[in-house]
Amino acid sequence: MQVILLEKVSNLGNLGEVVRVRDGYARNFLIPQKKARRATDAALKEFEARRVELEKIQAEKLAAAQALGERLNGYQLKVAQKAGVDGRLFGSVTNADIAEGLRTAGFEGVEKSQVRLPNGQLKTVGEFPIQVGLHADVLVDVTVLVEGEMN
């Protein structure tokens, strides 16, 4: 299926590009998330009429993400979790826990889908570098310090 991208999508293309994607990816992700529209003649004409407006919206989103990224870059988030004597956690620290901790710390707008854990969930006590993708062009480094709670 050919779609018109309404915003920059990682590993796919930029605003306004017509790209070919699998039908399921378009129907289940791109179109419902308002990241793309089907590439019909009418949709292309409508897009060209709205191009300036969409580019302005994208520039505002990028500026907001960069401002948040400047505040967030290098931040150290402390997470307390119950742990055994060997340093292994009872449970794990997930990207949802990290996003919740960042929102609690005053970084509104961070979603769990933006938190990237390179080695999966955190299951031990320690310090872990992670990345938060605030925008397709804005990727910031955050350190998560997992502390163990003893009973």
Whether residues 99 and 79 fall in one domain: yes
pLDDT at 137: 87
Whether residues 128 and 79 fall in one domain: yes
From 46, 70, 94, the end of a domain falls on 70
Q: How far apart are CA 37 and CA 58, in angstroms?
A: 16
Number of domains in the chain: 2
Whether residues 13 and 28 fall in one domain: yes
Vertex 28: Cα angle to 2 and 44 (nearest 5): 30
H or E segment to which residue 122 belongs: strand 122-124
Structural domain range at position 49: 2-70
Q: How far apart are CA 36 and CA 18, in angstroms?
A: 9
From 47, 70, 93, the end of a domain falls on 70
Question: What are the pLDDT digits (tens) for 59-84?
Answer: 999 999 999 999 999 999 999 999 98
Per-residue pLDDT, averaged over 22-31, amounts to 96
150 has pLDDT over 90? no
Whether residues 53 and 79 fall in one domain: no
Per-residue pLDDT, averaged over 116-145, amounts to 93
CATH number for 110: 3.10.430.100
CATH number for 15: 3.40.5.10
Whether residues 7 and 35 fall in one domain: yes
Whether residues 51 and 85 fall in one domain: no
**Tokens found for residue 101:** 């901790």
pTM attached to this predicted model = 0.78
Whether residues 78 and 144 fall in one domain: yes
Whether residues 87 and 137 fall in one domain: yes
Question: What are the pLDDT digits (tens) for 91-127?
Answer: 999 999 999 999 999 998 899 999 999 988 999 999 9
